[in-house]
Chain A
């Protein structure tokens, strides 16, 4: 069966520090991968998605970047965190075979920028 792993579960970082969140998927090949951010009490905002190694689409201009160095690895990064980067970051995958399939989410990383 397919599983998705995100780490760390929680993170407290000072303003101006770098960020690296990692997500890996097991049990599937060529998945579409996604990074979402969720503010408290709000819906999910799509940040980045990837349909293949090295292919990244950015949805909103921001202080973050994403990379996909391997088929089942998706990394969210920042060179210098801002207070507004605080939030709940969720990685998700779906099968790459067409778009009518659900996203499967990890358990997220709670990031607090102080």
Chain B
């Protein structure tokens, strides 16, 4: 079935390094993608989104890259900080119905 999956369940980086979290999706008809950050015991927090007519979008310290050819989405975090430690989810928006499908998440751990 259609799904969004994460390449790695955990990622450990040193404070100050750049982090890259990857996501593969299988629905080529999806037109909108979102990255969320979820801290323990809280709801997911919106980080950045990208529409399918773009291949790159930048925010504050974050960049999302979309490669539609290989159905791959990535989140890059520059100068990773301890406060970035959390679980990160990618989500894709199906064209029909507008439902968001979430991946299983990657846990990012930042070492001081």
Within 8 A of B (CB), among A63-114: 90, 92, 98-100, 102-108, 110
Q: Cβ of A107 and Cβ of B43 under 8 Å apart? A: yes
User: Among the listed B41, B98, B103, B104, which residue makes an inter-chain contact with A99, where contact means beta carbons less than 8 Å apart?
Assistant: B98
| Residues in chain B within 8 A of chain A (CB atoms) | 31-32, 34, 36, 41-46, 49, 51, 89, 91, 93, 95, 98-105
- B32 near A103 (CB under 8 angstroms)? no
Which 4 pairs across A and B sit closest by C-beta, in order of nearness? Answer: A99-B98, A105-B43, A44-B102, A43-B102
- Specify the main secondary structure of chain A where it touches its partner: loop
The contact of B93 among A90, A92, A99, by CB within 8 Å, is A99
CA distance in complex: A49, B36 (Å): 19
Q: Determine whether the beta carbon of A99 is less than 8 Å from that of B32.
A: yes
Min distance, Cβ B70 to any Cβ of chain A, angstroms = 21
Asked if A90 meets B43 with Cβ closer than 8 Å, knowing A43-B103, A43-B105, A100-B32, the reply is yes
